[in-house]
Every structure is written in C-alpha cells, then in structure tokens.
C-alpha cells in the first residue's frame, strides 16, 4: 500500500505501547472538539516526558486547575483516585492523570462546560484519552522509520567509540577490556576541577542504576536457549564474532561484571557536556587509569563521534517519545552462537513448511562459505534434523578450475554455479556428498544469492528420508522463495560481521591510515612536510654560505630523486583493493630506499610518487644509487598476493625515476630573494621531475637531468611482473 495516496479518512492507529482496548465499540466516538483538545494536550505532553510522576502542586501548575478542582474530579470518577503509598507520603500523578486533568481544564475553559459535564465527557471517553492522540498511518510509518534509522545509527556510532577507546587502551590482556560505555549528555564532573579516581568510580556506579536519559552501550553476553554445538573451524574466519548492545530505557538496567569492573572518564576539554564513562573489565593489578588522555588524532575522532552521538540521541528520544513502553535496545553484531540459535528456530519452521507432515524424517541446513571473497569451503552455520556429530564434520570443498569455481556435493554445485540443484534419488546420486550418512530420498540445494551478483551468501539445503517424501516444482518454488528471504537475513549477517572487522582494523591502524591519507594529493600534507624539510636545509645552506662555513651535508652536491611506481592503478591498486588502504607497495619501496640510503627519508604524494634526497660527490654516483634502489624494488616481491587466471601470484613491481643533481650554490640561488620564492621554485622543479618520471610508456626507465636537458636510460632490474606464489 502506498500510504502517500491514502485519503483523509485513513484508519487511525494507536500507540502500541498502551494496553489493548476491551472493545472497539465500548465508548462513543470522540467529537471534533475533543479531538482538537487532545491534540493540544498531546503536544504539551511531549514536553513532560521527563516527569514520570509529579506532586499535586506540579499537577496544578501544568493543568491550570485548582487543588480543590482536582480532588473534585477524583470524587466524580473523572480521575482515578490517587492514594499515597503510606501515611504522610505526598500524592503523585502520572502522565495519564495529567492528560485527563488537562483535557478537563480545556473542556471547561474552551468549550464552556460545567465541571460535572466535563467530568462526564472524560468518563465516557476515558480509554480514548488515556491512549493519547491517535496516529494516521503515514505518521506511524514516518515515526517508525525515524526510530529505526536513529537507533541503527546511534548503536553503530557508540560501537565505533568503544573500538577506538579499546585501541587507545591497548591490548585487552594488559590494559583491560572495554565492556561498556555511558554517555550521560551532561557535564557530570562540573563540580570537580581535579577529578579524583573515587569520584569516577562512584559516578559510574550511580549512572548504572539511574533512570536519567542517557545512552548506554555494552558488550552482550549471549545465553542461547539451545546448547551450542562445537563450531566448525571453517566458520571462524567469517568475520568479527562479537556484539554490542545499545540500551535505551526510562528504567535502569542492571549490568553484569559490576563487582570487577572499573570506570575511566573521558572529558573533552572544549565540550565537557560530552563527557563519557568507559566501563572496563580488568584483572587485579592491571594498570587502570581513571582518566583517559587520547593521542591528538584519536581525540579529534572521539570528539566528533560524541558530538554526533549527542545529536542523534536527541532525535532518537524525540522519535521514541510516543512509545509509552519505550525502545529497549539496539544491537550491533551477530556472534556465531547467537546466530546458530536464531537460525535453528527459523530452519525448523522452513522444514515443516517444505515437508508438511514429514518434518521428523527430514533435514534442513544453512551452509555458508569460510569467506565471501575467495571461498574454499562450505560448512553448516545452522541445521535441523542432523546429529551434532555429523553436522560438525560435514565439510564441502570449493576449488577453482581456471577462472571458474567448482564445488563438492549438491550444495557445492549450487554455490559454484549459482542455481538450484534437485535430486529425487539422493541415496544413489553421486552428486550428493554425504548420501550414505544422510540416507535421504530427495534433496534440494538453493543458493542464497545477492541481487548484484558475486559469490552467494550461502546455500539452503533440504532433504528428506521419508518413504513418501517428494519434491515437486511447487515445493521447490516455496523453498526458493524462502531462500530469498534467508538471503537478505544472511547478507545482513555477513555485512555486519565484516564491517565490524574492517572498522576494528581501521582503528588499530589509525596512524598509517592517516599517513596514507596525507599522501593522496599532489600538494598533500606529506608533500608540504617535504618542502618544509627542504626549506630547513636551504636556510642552513644560506646561513653557512653567508658566513663562509662548509655545507651542512657531506659531499659536493645534493641529489634529488623521484620514484614513480609503474602501472600503479592496473597492478598495485587492483591487488590491494580489499585492503583498507594500499600501502604495501609504498612500504616495499621505502625498505628498498632504506637498504641503499639508510639515513634517507622518503616523502610520498599522489599515492605512488616518492621524493627523497641525499648528498653525493658526483652525479654519476647518484645515478648508481637510484639504479641500486630500483634493483632492490624489482628483485623481491611485494607482500601482496595477486590473483591471475584463478591462481595466486606474487606481485613484482618496477619504478621509473627522475634525478636532478644540484650544487649547494644552485640551492642557494634558487630562493635568494624570499622563502616563498624558494618553495615555489622547488615545487616547480619537483613537478617537472614528476612529469618526466611518468611520461615514458616503458616501465623501469630513468630520466637524468644534465646541462642539455633530460636524458633517458633503462633501469636494469632483473625481474618485473608476476611469478607463481612461493617462487620469488
């Protein structure tokens, strides 16, 4: 149904958090005037969400009724009698009571009703008023969409903060494992200029059981309903096997590990209202700081994430304000144990639907590959109707024949060829891998496909050993349709696990990742660092030249070189496309430079261009040095496995180079006027060298600048290209 085309008389939906109505006709329909009043009251009620219960003074203020009027309406039955819990205790009024009081007040003031008439109308429409303002279907869908989107985003943002904090603390075995995160959205330490350790622990314990609005995230200890059989080793490489849970509730949630946990606080200097508490599980004797002082790069990341958490959390609370029961949690992650228990229950239903009346003699299994990128085996993620011992040892190989994938058994065929396979004689069909153990008469394997192509997420396998079992086209059609639904569920499972693994890798490799990003542009951060270093050298040369001192470096001249990795996009980026950042080729070149020129630093720009310099006695020696570096680069494989014609190959790379040898007088006069003229001249020179190194259509080429211009010659590296893996 397209809700945007619904007429104005669309059906009303009520808050699902309210108790069900006894009868749809148990009270008269509300008048337009009552509906208008209720709409006004509901708009105000959104501002009262923080008041779970109020005293009669606050109720009088919010409803604009006198205390005597409130008690009069209680006596008339328009308001449930509110009794104190014990003698001497104050009266309290709930949000439902406040809603009725406000409706009574408006009926008298806006509609001119006498108190008795207003009380009668409220009694007649009590259930309707208690429910709150009814919703139109478009409002429901929009509101629910906001809740799902904001809850999803909030859970993932807090997962990121937990991962980043764990990397800041270091190895969980030595620095403590992060098991929780509390973001109270206020400066909880504003009264403490110097925050003592005991205050941090006390504040954490208080917030654990507080009913104040806050975002609380922690790892989830899964306790499945069914015993968890041994997990096949094939499944252990299917992504990150943990989960975190975002709790959101007006009720406190008791947390495990309270006796052994420790709290550390992070209080952003410029945004103290975004203070967070990190809950850690640490063994006695571990170094457990009570305050976190992240490195600058991670500080910037955490502050940005906390700002976004605060903004999304505000939207999330507003989206959930109409759900009286509240949204309890959002999770991020699918552990294998929990997943197997969930899919077990689902597969049990699938088995009974495909084989009605024969389920006890039938079996169903959900197979997944060990990896989505280059799978080599299939194993059971979940199953029903198999003995645990048999299920744990079922292992179906996947292998390549040229560029094509082949698979073992009916399930392997379905996976490799991306189409269903059916047999009505499974007992004797050689395509069924475990036919002797299963003793099935009929079997069907359905690949769980992604609509964009690529390797399937898994395979749904159904079989039955019952004598009356059969698999007609209509049954197979039902199985394929159910498989499409399973494909979406399994795709989400894969995506989440692999995403969490990838994000964890990003946090662990933050420093090289930032450095890689600084190397991307032709005038990026690292290129500017190179100019800064050259400027520093130029200043020293100028000072010595003016005082008559010797040059700051050994040798009679300065050799400036640029290395350009040949076929970078076609070879290196293709081979490293599954890495979070492509730095292995750069590291390979840096190692080669360090072997020949140990004290020389390389500066990268435009991904594949390395700029470096060193002192030399003669220009021909500079050419020889670059030749040695090129040989080091080309003679040894990069630590990347490239796939070619279905086989893994070691990747060999080559470089082209451009060299300029400058005397110290050349450098001195390059920027004689100002620093800016030196930097501009150096940029122009480096750009000319970059163009020369990259202009040749032949790899492994050297360009050397002489008085007459650029001279081209070959770099004589012994190996360039690919060789079989293991044979450098």
Q: What is the pLDDT of residues 107-165, one digit of tens each?
A: 999 888 999 999 999 888 887 787 665 555 565 556 656 667 777 788 888 888 988 99
Mean pLDDT of the chain: 79
Tell me: pLDDT of 22 over 60.
no
| The pLDDT value given to residue 697 | 73
Residue 347, pLDDT score = 92
Q: What is the pLDDT of residue 48?
A: 58
Q: Rounded to whole angstroms, how far apart are CA atoms 165 and 158?
A: 10
Kindly report whether the global pTM for this prediction surpasses the value 0.85: no
Highest-confidence segment of 307-311, 501-505, 595-599? 595-599
What is the percent of the chain with per-residue pLDDT over 90, rounded to a whole number? Answer: 27
| Between 322 and 11, the higher pLDDT residue | 322
Q: Is a pLDDT exceeding 60 seen at residue 85?
A: no
3-state secondary structure 47-96: HHCCCCEECHHHHHHHHCCCHHHHHHHHHHCCCCCCCCCCCCCCCCEEHH
3-class state of residue 728 by DSSP: coil
Least confidently predicted of 134-148, 521-535, 551-565, 582-596? 134-148
How far lies 672's CA from each of 583, 663, 664, in Å? 38, 14, 12
Among 358, 216, 352, residue whose Cα is nearest residue 279: 216
Residue 481 pLDDT > 50, yes or no?
yes
Question: CA–CA distance from 603 to each of 211, 552, 562, 608, 610 (Å)?
Answer: 54, 21, 9, 10, 5
CB-facing half-sphere around the CA of 574: CA atoms within 13 A = 10
Please give the pLDDT value at position 131: 66
Judged against a pLDDT cut of 90, whether residue 630 lies above it is answered with yes
Taking only the tens place, the pLDDT of each residue in 523-537 is 889 999 999 999 999
pLDDT of residue 516 exceeding 70, the answer is yes
Percent pLDDT > 70 in the chain is 78
Q: What does the pLDDT look like over 338-383, one tens digit per residue? A: 778 888 888 999 999 899 889 899 999 999 998 888 888 999 999 9
| Contacts of 188 by beta carbon, 8 Å cutoff, 6+ apart | 203, 207, 275
Q: In angstroms, rounded to a whole number, what is the distance separating the alpha carbons of residues 215 and 305?
A: 13
Any idea which of 1-15, 152-166, 225-239, 670-684 has the lowest mean pLDDT? 1-15
Q: Do residues 61 and 47 make contact, with C-beta atoms less than 8 angstroms apart?
A: no
Could you tell me which of 464, 439, 448 has the C-alpha nearest to residue 363?
A: 464
Q: Of 657, 668, 656, nearest to 700 (Cα)?
A: 656
Provide the pLDDT for residue 725.
36
- pLDDT reported for residue 724: 37
Contact status, residue 55 vs residue 92, Cβ threshold 8 Å: yes
- Least confident range of 85-89, 142-146, 173-177, 331-335: 85-89
Is pLDDT at 193 greater than 50 in this prediction? yes
Q: Are 512 and 348 in contact (CB under 8 A)?
A: no
pLDDT for the residue numbered 548: 74
- The predicted model gives 327-346 an average pLDDT of 75
pLDDT, mean of residues 45-53: 54
| Lowest-pLDDT choice from 373-377, 420-424, 499-503, 549-553 | 549-553
pLDDT at 328: 54
509 has a pLDDT exceeding 60: yes
Averaged pLDDT, 68-97: 72
b/e per residue 285-308 (b: at least 16 CB within 10 A): eeebbbebebeeebbebbbebbee
Q: In this model, does residue 1 exceed pLDDT 50?
A: no
Length of the chain: 728
Q: Which residue has the higher pLDDT, 239 or 713?
A: 713
Q: Is the pLDDT of residue 700 over 80?
A: yes
Over range 10-16, report the average pLDDT. 33
N- to C-terminal Cα separation, the chain: 63
- Per-residue pLDDT, 233: 73
Task: Check whether 641 has a pLDDT greater than 60.
Answer: yes
Beta bridge partners of 655: 565
Higher-confidence residue of 385 and 325: namely 385
pLDDT of residue 715 exceeding 80, the answer is: no
Mean pLDDT over 265-284 rounds to 87
Instruction: Indicate the pLDDT class of residue 718, thresholds 50, 70 and 90.
Output: very low
Question: What is the distance between the alpha carbons of residues 350 and 463, in angstroms, rounded to a whole number?
Answer: 12
When comparing pLDDT for 251 and 91, which is higher? 91
- Compute the average pLDDT of residues 715-726: 43
The average pLDDT across 560-567 equals 92
Closest CA to 106 of 149, 27, 45: 45
Q: What is the pLDDT at residue 330?
A: 64
Range with lowest mean pLDDT among 160-164, 569-573, 605-609, 687-691: 569-573
């Amino acid at each position: 149904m397209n809700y945007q085309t619904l007429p104005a008389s669309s059906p009303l939906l009520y808050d699902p958090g309210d108790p069900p109505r006894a009868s749809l006709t148990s009270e008269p329909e509300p008048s337009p005037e009552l509906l208008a009043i209720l709409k006004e009251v509901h708009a105000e009620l959104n501002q009262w969400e923080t008041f779970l219960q109020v005293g009669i003074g606050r109720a009088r203020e919010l409803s604009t009724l006198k205390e005597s009027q409130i008690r009069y309406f209680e006596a008339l039955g328009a308001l449930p009698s509110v009794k104190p819990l014990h003698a001497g205790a104050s009266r309290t009024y709930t949000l439902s009571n406040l809603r009725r009081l406000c409706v009574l007040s408006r009926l008298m003031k806006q509609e001119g009703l006498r108190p008795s008439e207003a009380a009668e109308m409220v009694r007649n429409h009590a259930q309707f008023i208690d429910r709150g303002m009814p919703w139109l279907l478009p409002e429901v869908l929009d509101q629910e969409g906001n809740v799902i989107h904001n809850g999803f985003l909030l859970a993932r943002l807090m997962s990121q903060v937990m991962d980043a904090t764990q990397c800041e603390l270091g190895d969980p075995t030595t620095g403590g494992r992060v098991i929780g995160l509390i973001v109270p959205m206020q400066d909880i330490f504003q009264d403490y200029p110097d925050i003592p350790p005991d205050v941090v622990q006390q504040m954490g314990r208080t917030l654990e059981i507080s009913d104040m609005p806050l975002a609380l995230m922690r790892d989830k200890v899964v306790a499945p309903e069914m015993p968890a059989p041994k997990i096949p080793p094939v499944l252990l490489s299917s992504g990150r096997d943990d989960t975190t849970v975002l709790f959101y509730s007006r009720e406190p949630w008791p947390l495990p590990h309270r006796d052994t946990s420790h709290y550390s606080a992070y209080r952003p200097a410029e945004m103290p209202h975004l203070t967070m508490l990190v809950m850690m599980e640490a063994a006695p004797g571990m170094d457990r700081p009570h305050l976190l002082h992240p490195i600058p790069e991670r500080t910037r990341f955490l502050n940005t994430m906390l700002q976004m958490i605060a903004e999304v959390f505000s939207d999330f609370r507003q989206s959930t304000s109409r759900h009286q029961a509240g949204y309890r949690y959002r999770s991020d992650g699918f552990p294998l144990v929990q997943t197997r228990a969930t899919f077990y229950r689902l597969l049990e239903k699938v088995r009974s639907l495909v084989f009605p009346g024969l389920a006890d003699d039938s079996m169903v299994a959900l197979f997944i590959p060990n990896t989505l990128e280059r799978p080599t085996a299939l194993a059971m993620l979940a199953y029903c109707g198999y003995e645990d011992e048999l299920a744990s040892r079922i292992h179906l190989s996947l292998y390549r024949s040229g560029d094509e994938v082949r698979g073992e058994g009916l399930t392997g065929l379905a996976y490799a060829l991306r189409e269903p396979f059916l047999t009505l004689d499974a007992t004797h069909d050689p395509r069924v891998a475990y036919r002797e153990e299963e003793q099935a008469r009929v079997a069907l394997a359905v690949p769980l496909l992604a609509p964009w192509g690529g390797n399937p997420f898994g395979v749904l396998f159904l079989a039955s050993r019952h004598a009356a079992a059969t698999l007609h086209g209509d049954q197979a059609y039902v199985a394929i349709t159910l498989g499409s639904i399973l494909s979406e569920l399994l795709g989400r499972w894969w995506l989440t696990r692999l995403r969490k693994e990838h994000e964890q890798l990003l946090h662990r490799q933050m420093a090289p990742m930032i450095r890689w990003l600084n190397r991307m542009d032709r005038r990026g951060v690292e290129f500017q660092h190179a100019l800064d270093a050259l400027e520093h050298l130029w200043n020293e040369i100028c000072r010595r030249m003016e005082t008559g001192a010797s040059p700051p470096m050994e040798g009679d001249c300065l050799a400036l070189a640029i290395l350009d990795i040949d076929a970078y996009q076609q070879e290196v980026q293709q081979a490293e496309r599954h890495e979070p950042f492509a730095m292995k080729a750069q590291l390979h070149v840096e190692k080669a430079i360090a072997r020949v020129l140990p004290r020389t630093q390389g500066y990268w720009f435009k991904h594949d261009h390395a700029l470096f310099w060193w002192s030399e006695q003669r220009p021909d020696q500079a050419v020889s040095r670059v030749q040695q570096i090129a040989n080091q680069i080309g003679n040894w494989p990069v630590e990347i496995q490239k796939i070619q014609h279905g086989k893994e190959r070691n990747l060999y790379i080559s470089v082209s180079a451009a060299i300029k040898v400058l005397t110290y007088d050349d450098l001195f006069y390059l920027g004689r006027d100002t620093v800016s003229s030196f930097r501009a001249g150096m940029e122009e020179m480096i750009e000319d060298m970059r163009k020369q190194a990259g202009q040749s259509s032949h790899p492994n080429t050297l360009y050397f600048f002489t008085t007459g211009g650029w001279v081209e010659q070959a770099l004589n590296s012994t190996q360039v290209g690919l060789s079989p893996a293991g044979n450098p």
